[in-house]
């Protein structure tokens, strides 16, 4: 299968690596040529990249070489997508930008190809509103880091055909992931649940009910979550958290999705998450609060 990934930021890189590791040819495209170079480097040398997987015995050197050989980078979207069987849009969580990208794809990709958006909160029907072949458009939401997380949300838009959903589910299983099907509602399933937990955890922190360490431990030891809500936020990025919450608030007008004051303060001061994932960040919750007891599960 030929896969094209449009947008080579954090999630685009992870998605491209997953498909390449499972033997698929992947064309990646981004107008920013520096992003293309940085993305290929991260797939090779990043914390969840090929060299790390080889060192941990999760991949042979030969498999690693084949993974890197399977990924082709180009700054021309037409070149990347013209013969793809599946195109995944993975640009920033911005409705106008995603609409613009998908509108361009409508006239480029083969008629039989699936067009998927990796959106985590925005409505698929809104993103695809200007497309001609809406029946072949859906959400395919991978989770960070996509190389190790098992879940992919498949989101059925208003016009998405049943065969498109079925084809997407087969593709997800083919790359070793587990699909769940969600109706096109703000936040879908996983983010609606996860962000609800994060909002309540933030309220407990801001009210002084418990420390971030103890809130995280409550979910890890009490509910067997692999990571607490603040560890998760640091991993995915606090700037991403704000965008997710703002998108939900704009779509629903429900005040429960207004980003917490503490989150805005941290991002405004340059604390936007785990600096090993975002080198320009001062740190995340654990750095901001002066704690060094944060523990992440091994990948």
Quick: pLDDT tens for 104-133: 998 899 999 999 999 999 999 999 998 888
Residue 296 pLDDT > 70: no
Q: Which residue in 113, 165, 166 sits closest to 6, CA to CA? A: 113
**What is residue 219's DSSP assignment?**
H
Lowest mean per-residue pLDDT among 218-222, 259-263, 279-283: 279-283
Give me the mean pLDDT over the 9-22 stretch.
97
- pLDDT at residue number 81: 97
Round to whole Å and give the CA distance between 173 and 124: 21
3-class secondary structure, 73: strand
Q: Which residue in 224, 39, 7 sits closest to 104, CA to CA? A: 7
| Position 110 in a domain | yes
| Position 39 in a domain | yes
- Polymer length in residues for the chain: 299
- Name the one residue in this structure whose structure tokens are 């960070």: 144
Q: What is the pLDDT confidence band of residue 290, given thresholds at 50, 70 and 90?
A: confident
The reply to whether 12 and 113 lie within a common domain is yes
The reply to whether 179 and 211 lie within a common domain is no
Global confidence as pTM: 0.90
Q: What is the pLDDT confidence band of residue 299, given thresholds at 50, 70 and 90?
A: very low
3-class secondary structure, 27: strand
Distances (CA, A) of 277 to 9, 94, 111, 231: 12, 21, 37, 13
| Position 296 in a domain | no
Residues 6+ apart with CB under 8 A from 34: none
Q: Checking phi first, is residue 199 left (phi over 0); if not, alpha (psi -120 to 50) or beta?
A: alpha
Distances (CA, A) of 33 to 10, 16, 29, 38, 64: 15, 16, 9, 9, 24
Quick: pLDDT tens for 200-259: 999 999 999 999 999 999 999 999 999 999 999 999 999 999 999 999 999 999 999 999
3-class secondary structure, 56: coil
Q: Which residue in 266, 144, 249, 251 sits closest to 202, CA to CA? A: 266
| Position 232 in a domain | yes
- pLDDT at residue number 55: 97
- Name the one residue in this structure whose structure tokens are 């070149």: 79
Q: Which of the listed residues 183, 214, 234 is the one where a domain comes to its end?
A: 183
- pLDDT at residue number 293: 52
Round to whole Å and give the CA distance between 299 and 287: 21
3-class secondary structure, 145: coil
Residue 295 pLDDT > 50: no
What is the residue-averaged pLDDT of the chain?
94
Q: What is the pLDDT confidence band of residue 292, given thresholds at 50, 70 and 90?
A: low
The reply to whether 176 and 34 lie within a common domain is yes
The reply to whether 31 and 98 lie within a common domain is yes
The reply to whether 166 and 195 lie within a common domain is no
Q: Which residues are known catalytic residues?
A: 120, 141, 153, 191
Q: Which helix (H) or strand (E) holds 182?
A: strand 178-183
- pLDDT at residue number 132: 84
Quick: pLDDT tens for 53-107: 999 999 999 999 999 999 999 999 999 999 999 999 999 889 999 999 999 998 8
- pLDDT at residue number 151: 97
Q: What is the pLDDT confidence band of residue 297, given thresholds at 50, 70 and 90?
A: very low
Residue pair 134/106 in contact by the 8 Å Cβ criterion: no
Q: Which residue in 140, 90, 79 sits closest to 114, CA to CA? A: 140
Residue 185 CA neighbour count, 13 Å, CB half = 9
The reply to whether 110 and 246 lie within a common domain is no
Bond preceding residue 145 cis, omega within 30 of 0: yes
CATH number at residue 58: 3.40.50.720
Q: What is the pLDDT confidence band of residue 277, given thresholds at 50, 70 and 90?
A: confident
The residue ranking higher by pLDDT, 297 or 6, is: 6
Quick: pLDDT tens for 159-198: 999 999 999 999 999 999 999 999 999 999 999 999 999 9
CATH number at residue 270: 1.10.1040.10
Round to whole Å and give the CA distance between 195 and 257: 8
The reply to whether 272 and 213 lie within a common domain is yes
Round to whole Å and give the CA distance between 243 and 249: 10
Domain of residue 281 covers 190-287
The reply to whether 76 and 131 lie within a common domain is yes
| Position 297 in a domain | no
| Position 293 in a domain | no
């Amino acid at each position: 299968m030929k896969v094209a990934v449009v947008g080579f930021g954090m999630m685009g890189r992870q998605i491209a690596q997953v498909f390449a590791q499972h033997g698929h040819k992947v064309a990646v495209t981004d107008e920013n040529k520096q992003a293309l170079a940085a993305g290929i480097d991260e797939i090779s040398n990043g914390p969840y990249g090929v060299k790390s997987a080889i060192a941990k015995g999760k991949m042979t050197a030969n498999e690693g070489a084949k993974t890197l050989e399977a990924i082709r980078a180009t700054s021309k979207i037409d070149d990347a997508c013209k013969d793809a069987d599946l195109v995944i849009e993975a640009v920033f969580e911005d409705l106008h930008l995603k609409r613009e990208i998908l509108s361009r794809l409508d006239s480029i990709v083969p008629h039989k190809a699936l067009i998927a958006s990796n959106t985590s909160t925005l409505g698929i029907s809104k993103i695809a509103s200007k497309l001609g072949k809406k029946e072949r458009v859906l959400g395919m939401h991978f989770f960070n880091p996509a190389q190790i997380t098992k879940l992919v949300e498949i989101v059925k838009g208003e016009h998405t055909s049943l065969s498109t959903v079925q084809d997407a589910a087969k593709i997800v299983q083919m790359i070793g992931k587990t699909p769940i099907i969600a109706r096109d509602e703000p936040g879908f399933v996983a983010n609606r649940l996860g962000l609800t937990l994060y909002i309540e955890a933030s309220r407990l922190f801001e009210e002084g009910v418990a420390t971030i360490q103890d809130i995280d431990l409550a979910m890890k030891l009490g509910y067997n979550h692999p990571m607490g809500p603040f560890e998760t936020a640091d991993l995915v990025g606090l700037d991403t958290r704000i965008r997710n919450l703002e998108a939900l608030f704009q779509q629903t007008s429900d005040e429960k999705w207004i980003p917490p004051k503490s989150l805005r303060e941290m991002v405004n001061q340059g604390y936007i998450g785990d600096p090993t994932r975002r080198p320009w960040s001062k740190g995340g919750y654990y750095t901001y609060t002066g704690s060094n007891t944060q523990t992440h599960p091994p990948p």
